[in-house]
Amino acid sequence: MSVTLADILEAEAAIRPHVRRTPVMEVDPADFGIEWRGRISLKLECMQHTGSFKARGAFATLLTPPDDRRPAVAVSGGNHGAAVAYAAGALGLEATIFVPEYAPRRKLDRIRSYGPDLRVVGDTIAETMNAYRAHLDETGARAVHPYDAPLTVAGQGTVGLEWMEQAPDMDAVLVAIGGGGLISGVGVAMAAGPMVIGVEPVGAACAHEARRVGAPVEAVPTSFAKDSLGAPALGTLTHELIDVHVEDLVLVEDDAIRAAQAMLWRVCSVAAEPGGACALAALISGVVTPEPGAHIGVLVCGANFDLGTLPD
């Protein structure tokens, strides 16, 4: 089980009528108070349908094969669930979405707006996963995995293809990691392009743990970004792809993510959720300091959060 550039190109052809080509915004590091001098290109996937990149993987999965009309089932901290509900609705399919009790109200409201059977279950994502698996066993419905499935990864990889067309001279890209589906797809898509660096909160660092021990490790996420980056562990597929295609992994504190959220709003009028601001936090905090003059891509991957929680 793996994912190739050919798989991503096939996914791109399938999903193109259903997803947005999201914009890239070039910004000056000085606007964010960053001393390093170079170029930053923000890939605004927060402007994708449902407010995150997840629509790409959802459509790639539900369109393959096109004659599979079983109801879709997903488990999610919020963004994946919204994407599956949206894609299922667009394709005329039923959907059941499982989310943990800590999912932000805005994410729950967005999921409900697409009309699925929404089930809020469990204090932890592990408890939610158990309910999801039991439902699959009972119903035989079609599982749409949030990250550890080839079609999901191939769909998310279309972000990388699009980004390189829009900013072809990037030296490196920063991508947040939850379960690893997004960065795995981007890594495969950019294998002959810029260096790929993964960014995780200190309190949700499953990729770091997997790289340290050489295999996915389960952990309970504690970061305030856990609703989007709080996967209990990398998947087998995403661990293997990250090992091959991701050059480096870095950690950021929650305070740095809050600062990045606030600056994206103040400087760019971009409302990013904590997980969406995580990659930029690596530059703002100085955890990543590129060479002078480098062109760095930063993926702003989600926008679903309660606006009243936006940091000052």
Look at strands 142-143 and 172-176 and give their pairing.
unpaired
The per-residue pLDDT for 203 is: 96
* Tens digits of residue pLDDT in 25-79: 999 999 999 999 999 999 999 999 999 999 999 999 999 998 899 999 999 888 9
Per the rule left: phi > 0, alpha: psi between -120 and 50, beta: everything else, 286 is left
- Percentage of the chain with pLDDT > 70? 98
Is the pLDDT score of 113 beyond 80? yes
Q: Say whether 54-143 and 5-53+149-309 share the same fold.
A: yes
Mention every residue, 6+ apart, whose C-beta is less than 8 A from residue 135. 73, 96, 98, 119, 141
CA–CA distance, 175 with 155 (Å, rounded to integer): 16
Confidence band, pLDDT 50/70/90 cuts, at residue 174: very high
CATH number given to 54-143: 3.40.50.1100
195-249 tens-digit pLDDT: 999 999 999 999 999 999 999 999 889 999 988 898 889 999 999 999 999 999 9
Please give the residue that has the higher pLDDT: either 149 or 125.
149
Going from N- to C-terminal start, the domains of the chain cover 5-53+149-309, 54-143
- Residue 147: is its pLDDT beyond 90? yes
Check if CATH label 3.40.1190.20 holds for domain 5-53+149-309: no
* 8 A C-beta contact, residue 62 and residue 34: no
- Taking only the tens place, the pLDDT of each residue in 81-90 is 999 999 999 9
Grade residue 305 by pLDDT with cuts at 50, 70 and 90.
Answer: confident
Written as six digits, the tokens of 72 are: 């879709």
